[in-house]
Amino acid sequence: MIFHFYGFIVGTATIVGYLLAEKKAIKSGIEEKIFFKNFFYIFLAGVFGARAWHVFTDLYLYKENLIQVLYIWNGGLSILGAVFGGLVALYFLEKDKKRLRIYLDSIVFGLPIAQAIGRWANFVNQELYGLPTNLPWKIFIDYQNRVAGFDKFSYFHPLFLYEGILVVVAFLIMSYLLKKKIWKVGGGRFFTFYLLYYGIIRFFLDFLRIDRINWYGLGTNQWVIISLEFLFIIYWIVKKCRKKY
């Protein structure tokens, strides 16, 4: 049996994220057994979405050997795909709007810490790094793991670390808001905040990525983020106008 550090780290991240989310959900009125059952399906849908989105945006990596699409232990899980997959599963699992908001708010208390831990799996596989740099916190990338065209460079931005630190900041902000009773779990504000927050940091961090496919100066993920943020703003404006009139 081969031990894969990538899988071990992702597994650890999942467990920690689950425990943090479960604690918030149970405290807000969701039964432990029901949360566990629903989380199991959400997790499976998230993994499928994460892999599907990665393959979709980086198909060139697999077109000559499609069987490698199944080798998730080699890396290649998109957080954007994971979120989309998990949301679709949750939509079908929970029809009650109040309980749905509890799930959403609870999950985003576990998600950023799970992301921060899980990003170290990218470091182990040397698969998430940015442009070449000579900054003190630069990381060395083995020759065989360097993106074509950057073979002569040895040190790169630790993109995984930047994202990990920023999502932990989001967790601390949400924890403060909850502790001071400014927001409460179940109102949907934590979920909305985290989606907007992560969308913004991910949009700007992607400018450092060297493996993104450019479409008019932006990568695929950046266009998706812009579209979702725009749709959300339109939805929010329409909702506010309906309440007003």
Task: Give the model confidence (pLDDT) of 49-68 as tens digits.
Answer: 888 887 777 766 667 677 77
- Tens-place pLDDT, residues 110-156: 999 999 999 998 888 888 899 999 999 999 999 988 888 898 999 99
pLDDT at 180 over 90: yes
- What per-residue confidence (pLDDT) applies to 59? 67
Average pLDDT over the chain reads 86
Given a contact cutoff of 8 angstroms between Cβ atoms, the answer to whether 119 and 164 are in contact is yes
pLDDT over 70 (residue 239):
no
- Position 184 confidence tier, pLDDT thresholds 50, 70, 90: very high
